[in-house]
Amino acid sequence: MNLDPVRMLAPRLQSMEESATIRMAQKARDLASKGVNVISLTLGEPDFDTPEFIKKAAYDALQRGETKYTPVPGTLNLRKTICEKFKKENNLIYTPSEIVVSNGAKQSIANICMSVLGPGDEAIILAPYWVSYVEIVRFSGGVPVVIAAGIEDDFKPDASKIKEAMTDKTKLLIFSSPCNPTGSVWTEHELRAMAEVVASHPTCLIISDEIYEYINFESDHYSIGSFDNMQGRVATVNGFSKGFAMTGWRLGYMGGPQWLADACNKVQGQITSGAASFSQGAAVVALESERTETIEMKKAFLKRRDLMLSLLKKIPGLKVNLPKGAFYVFMDVSHYFGTSNGSVTISNADDFAEIMLTEAHVGLVSGSAFGDDNCVRLSYAASENDLNEAANRLKNTLAKFS
């Protein structure tokens, strides 16, 4: 007798959405495997290879015999190096016991949410948001409270809206700066306004997701956890995937108050244990480096951003703002809602992404997964050739819609 998945799967799973970024990336791969020449601008992943000196450091770690379990929160050496990085680059003071290294920043965020959220506890999420925040909050038993800002506000909700959304059930405030999917960067002034609101709430902890720290084109990076009134109030999340092009190494970390680090350590100890030993060995060398390759990659992203923006401007109807960081353009495509090419109609952002994949063979991700139904996300972490070709295809395909 076959098991019935509907009876088998737990409610928390039945109500969970699959990651839209990963789903659209897979769809693009599936189409490509059928021989279609697809340009996938779906996944937020640097197209650069991991810098050679980091690969060598992993090899050296393996040669040294770093092939065993590490302590659950990470090797002491890596946690000390992270503390130095936090102090030097972010003006954040953490001790090694307040750091937990995980299998990607994604796990760091999940550890925190599982540690903090009980049934009915609320997590305020600034929208547009990274796809996984809402699902991780729900999976942890919490309730996402979404506060949104549109393109006219550079996609950054005002601190007064955060204040309005706070209740006695608020436990978390989650945001990323530079932001995935919008590329928006919160200024020091805006972060201070946010901090002011949070500081007077008795139970609100901030998850400051700073994974795009090094891909910031215009300003200095500010960590909200460094402000005087934020001591003990912030979990600073970061990782190696973006700045060091190490997505496959699965390494992220968080620094936070001791009680939170202890809780994350406990959660992780029951689920995955420590991250890969030789990834951690290599990460020490990555963090101790001068960031030369990181800066080169940032320069390349900036060049591509400007190229992409100039190409998108030539496509009528697309509304685009200036992303100041990360490697995404989050464009308002609502102009095309209700239009048809005679065989298919674009009714919403999901249709737009779907139709651009099937008709233009360009992979994008619908904004609905990021909390904005008018937009789609395009990742320009791709070659200039691909970006030129993708823009051409979008232009030609959209020209048929009226």
The residue among 227 and 240 lying less far from ligand PMP, judged by its C-beta, is: 240
**CA-to-CA separations, 186 to 9, 146, 370, in angstroms, rounded:** 40, 18, 18
Q: Could you say which residues in the range 72-111 bind ligand GLU, by CB under 6 A? A: 106
How many of the chain's residues bind ligand GLU (CB under 6 A)? 11
Q: From the list 75, 111, 180, 277, which residue makes contact with ligand GLU (rule: CB under 6 A)?
A: 180
Between CA 354 and CA 350 the distance in angstroms is: 6
Applying CB under 6 A, does 41 fall inside the site for ligand GLU?
no
Closest by CA to 149, choosing from 321, 324, 347, is: 321
Residue 43, binding choice from ligand GLU, ligand PMP, none, Cβ under 5 to 8 Å by partner class? ligand GLU
> What is the distance between the alpha carbons of residues 299 and 301, in angstroms, rounded to a whole number?
5
Residues 21-60 that bind ligand PMP (CB under 6 A): 44
Whether omega before 202 lies within 30 degrees of 0, making that bond cis, reads no
The structure tokens listed for 299 are 């320069």
Q: How far apart, in whole angstroms, are the C-alpha atoms of residue 356 and residue 275?
A: 38
Q: SS in 3 state form for 290-310?
A: CCHHHHHHHHHHHHHHHHHHH
Per-residue contact flags (x/-) with ligand PMP for residues 322 to 351, judged by CB under 6 A: ------------------------------
182/397 with CB nearer ligand GLU = 182
Q: CB of 327: closest distance to ligand GLU in angstroms? A: 10
Interface pick for ligand PMP out of 24, 92, 105, 333 (rule CB under 6 A)? 105
Nearest approach in angstroms of CB 289 to ligand PMP is: 18
169: buried, middle or exposed (CB in 10 Å: 19+, 13-18, 0-12)?
middle
Q: Which stretch binds ligand GLU (CB under 6 A): 58-66, 129-137, 160-168, 258-266?
A: 129-137
Q: Are 221 and 210 in contact (CB under 8 A)?
A: yes
Which residue is closest to ligand GLU by CB?
44
Task: Choose, by CB under 6 A, the member of 39, 41, 43, 61 that binds ligand GLU.
Answer: 43
CB of 167 to ligand PMP, least distance (A): 25
Q: Which residues contact 5 (CB under 8 A, 6 or more apart)?
A: none
- At 346, is the secondary structure helix, strand, or coil? strand
The binder of 19, among ligand GLU, ligand PMP, none, by C-beta within 5 to 8 A per type, is ligand GLU
H/E element, 172: strand 170-176
282: contact with ligand PMP by CB under 6 A: no
**Residue 304 in contact with ligand PMP, rule: CB under 6 A:** no
Distance CA 25, CA 43 (A): 6
Question: Which range touches ligand GLU (CB under 6 A), out of 38-46, 141-149, 306-314, 315-323?
Answer: 38-46
User: Using CB under 6 A, which of 39, 41, 44, 267 touches ligand GLU?
Assistant: 44
Per the rule left: phi > 0, alpha: psi between -120 and 50, beta: everything else, 142 is beta
| Segment lying near ligand PMP (by CB under 6 A), choices 67-75, 103-111, 143-151, 273-281 | 103-111
Chain position carrying tokens 């409270």: 145
Which region among 18-26, 64-72, 268-276, 294-302 touches ligand GLU (by CB under 6 A)? 18-26
Q: Is 239 among the residues that bind ligand PMP (CB under 6 A)? A: yes
Rounded to whole angstroms, the Cα distance separating 209 from 231 reads 17
The per-type count for the chain, helices as H runs and strands as E runs, is: 14, 14
Q: Give the residues lining the site for ligand PMP (CB under 6 A).
A: 44, 104-106, 130, 176, 180, 209, 211, 239, 241, 247, 252
